[in-house]
Amino acid sequence: MIADAQALTDNIDNPEKVRQNIIEVALDYLACGLDSTKSTLFVQSQISELFELSFYYMNLVTVSRLQRNPTIKMEIKMRNFGKNIPVGFFTYPISQAADITAFKATTVPVGEDQLPMIELTKEIVRKFNSLYGKVLVEPEALLPDNKACQRLPGIDGKSKMSKSLNNCIYLSDTADEVKKKVMNMYTDPNHLRVEDPGNVEGNPVFTYLDAFCKNEHFSRYFPEYNNLDELKEHYTKGGLGDVKVKKFLNAILQEELEPIRKRRAEFAKDIPEVYNILKKGNYMAREVAANTLAEVKSAMKINYF
């Protein structure tokens, strides 16, 4: 799903930006290997049933419950909303519950920051099913095995990598753009000289290495070391500069991203076909969501006509 409606919750003054990003996200999905003949790619705003489900679910959740959501609290602070929090943004975890339950998903791949959303979805499912009978399916979260992949920080070292915070490495970035971003990444601010001891904790360069580095990368790009533990030990003791580590990370990311870039460029040659994929996906998603909505309304006895 491309969550354009959710993106509008903090971009309502710039819907054209959201519109343009729909095709960008679709290209990213396809480039990363999602097969449109096996996976349904669709645009959230085109499935009206999701919004009706969200409205019914809102009656199952209290304001105080949403206020306790740690991810929402963090994102409100990051965006400097203060007391001017858009209602759509505040309630987007309920919208996510509709996105999940409309398709009766059993497993939802998420990052660590989305676990509170899955927990809220489960609460909604349990409450609905206890009131109206077993209709909705309770999902389980699927986290990456590699803990570093569960929440990648932004390249500025602050919070998570987020398009809205402009601290991302994009799949559409050129090799030069990726290199520039990596070489400008935040590191240990106290590691001023090569001989200074460095800190790998809270250092996004090493977090990214934890996420993407494999032992075979050392023989190709950094033969002075055998594994990441050796590299971390040297950096921690002092004598290893940030530039060398960043060059190593850049080599790894370029290897990872190059085939994705090539596939993305191929799909970008035929944008009308990408839109056709989304249109077909919208039709299929709407059909499934409509069936779930009908079951929900029947269980609630509000299918009046």
Q: 206-215 burial by CB neighbour count: b if 16+ within 10 A, else e?
A: bbbbbbbbee
Please say whether the beta carbons of 216 and 207 come within 8 A.
Answer: no
User: Same domain, yes or no, for 30 and 122?
Assistant: yes
User: Same domain, yes or no, for 142 and 59?
Assistant: yes
User: Same domain, yes or no, for 81 and 139?
Assistant: yes
The pLDDT value recorded for residue 79 is: 84
User: Same domain, yes or no, for 141 and 277?
Assistant: yes
Q: What is the pLDDT of residues 158-214, one digit of tens each?
A: 777 777 677 999 999 999 999 999 999 999 999 989 999 999 999 999 999 999 999
Q: 169-194 burial by CB neighbour count: b if 16+ within 10 A, else e?
A: bebbbeeeebbebbeebbbbeebeee
Q: Which residues pair with 2 in a beta bridge?
A: 43
User: Same domain, yes or no, for 33 and 123?
Assistant: yes
User: Same domain, yes or no, for 131 and 191?
Assistant: no
Six-digit token string for 72: 């929402």
Please give the Cα distance from 23 to 3 (Å, whole number).
12
In the chain the first and final C-alpha atoms are separated, in Å, by 31
Please give the Cα distance from 50 to 44 (Å, whole number).
8
The pLDDT value recorded for residue 129 is: 99
Please say whether the beta carbons of 44 and 4 come within 8 A.
Answer: yes
Full residue range of the structural domain in which residue 58 is found: 4-147+271-300
CATH code, domain carrying 70: 3.40.50.620
The pLDDT value recorded for residue 78 is: 83
User: Same domain, yes or no, for 275 and 141?
Assistant: yes
Q: Which amino acid is at 291?
A: N
* Number of structural domains the chain divides into: 2
Evaluate whether residue 157 is within a structural domain. Answer: no
In the predicted model, residues of the chain with pLDDT beneath 50 are none
Please say whether the beta carbons of 27 and 33 come within 8 A.
Answer: no
Please say whether the beta carbons of 139 and 108 come within 8 A.
Answer: yes
The pLDDT value recorded for residue 242 is: 96
The pLDDT value recorded for residue 77 is: 87
User: Same domain, yes or no, for 284 and 223?
Assistant: no
Please say whether the beta carbons of 282 and 48 come within 8 A.
Answer: no
258 phi/psi in degrees, rounded to 5: -60, -50
Angle, helices 242-268/204-212, rounded to nearest 10 degrees? 60
Please give the Cα distance from 295 to 284 (Å, whole number).
17
User: Same domain, yes or no, for 205 and 78?
Assistant: no
Q: What is the pLDDT of residues 86-103, one digit of tens each?
A: 999 999 999 999 999 999
User: Same domain, yes or no, for 140 and 278?
Assistant: yes
CATH code, domain carrying 205: 1.10.240.10
User: Same domain, yes or no, for 247 and 290?
Assistant: no
